Structure formats: C-alpha cells, structure tokens
Structure 1
Amino acid sequence: MAKSPMTKAQLVTALSEKMDTDKKSAGAALEAVVAIITDEVSSGGAVTLPGVGKIYCRERPERMVRNPATGEQIKKEADKVVKMTIAKALKDSVNG
C-alpha cells in the first residue's frame, strides 16, 4: 500500500531537524521558497530545484473538448498550466 504524502507540518519538522533550527525558522524558510517559486512561475519564468526538477508554466492552445456527461463538443479557451520535469538524479534514486 502507498504511503500517505508528507504534510506541511511534517515537512517543516523534517526541515528544522536538517537545518538544526527551530520550527518557526524552518516554516518561514519554506514559505519564502514557495513564494519565490510562485512569483517566478506565475510571471512566465521557470525554477530549477537542483536534484528535484524544474517547475515551469506552459501555455495550452485553444482546443475542442468533450463534456463527459452529455458527450457535447465544446471549445475550451487557451490557458496556462504549471508543469514539473523531474530531475534524473531523483528518478535514479527512486528506481535504484
């Protein structure tokens, strides 16, 4: 069975232990990293987290989609989606 995802509180605790600091400082550091990534990606840039991957925004063109409830074809406007490419080092550590 799959293990449940790490919560924010668990992540802050683990981060504080790795940094040898208190949870408040670790939480502030995590919030700062999240804010930087959000600002950069929302402005069209990309962020590379060494050993983890690259987070970026991609534009999707206007397209036709199907409503699964009715089967009706409708036009979906162009939009943007956030994507993440996983680093080879992380893939290798999971598979090897």
Structure 2
Amino acid sequence: MGLTPAPCLRRVQRLEESGVISGYYAAIDPVASGRGFCVVMSIEITMTDRDTVENFESSVAALEEVPEVRRVYGFLIISLLFTFQTATPTNVFRLKR
C-alpha cells in the first residue's frame, strides 16, 4: 500500500471505529491444545418441546469434550463437535454416553 506505520495504524483504527474490523481472533492448533481428534455428530431430536431441547443442549454443552453445540432448524437437529486428544477406545466409549 505504500503507507508508513503511522498512517497505516490510523487507517486500521478508523476501520475498527467504523465497525468494518469487528475484532481479532486466534487460530488454535488442535493438536497443540490436546484436542487433535475431532468428531462431528448430528442428532435428530424427535421430542421437540422446548424443555426437552433445552435440557439436551445444556447437558451436552456441559461436557468438557464438546466445545460447540449448534441447533439446525427445519427438522430439529443438534450438531455437536467433540474433541479429544487421540482416537482411543476410551474416547470412542465416551461418545456412546
């Protein structure tokens, strides 16, 4: 761009203030963080009353191995991301809970 550091910083600050830049994020290495084995699981919920769905979501969200829970509308499907250090039999057993 041909800008020196000071004008470049001012440009970035204007972009932040105007909302064009809304934040900064870290790229986490799953292997380095001890979560190199990931499983994505979709579960269709047939009992769709609010209490059942919310209880299920809060139960799985409380699991240490589940960093992400997403609700997909249409058919009520919950998408879960499980992360483990490795694909050991113990971790496979945990998925059967």
TM class by shorter chain equals under 0.3
Q: Which has the larger radius of gyration?
A: 2
Q: Relative to total residues, which structure has the larger strand share, 1 or 2?
A: 1
Q: Relative to total residues, which structure has the larger helix share, 1 or 2?
A: 1
Scaled by the length of structure 1, what TM-score is found?
0.25
Scaled by the length of structure 2, what TM-score is found?
0.25
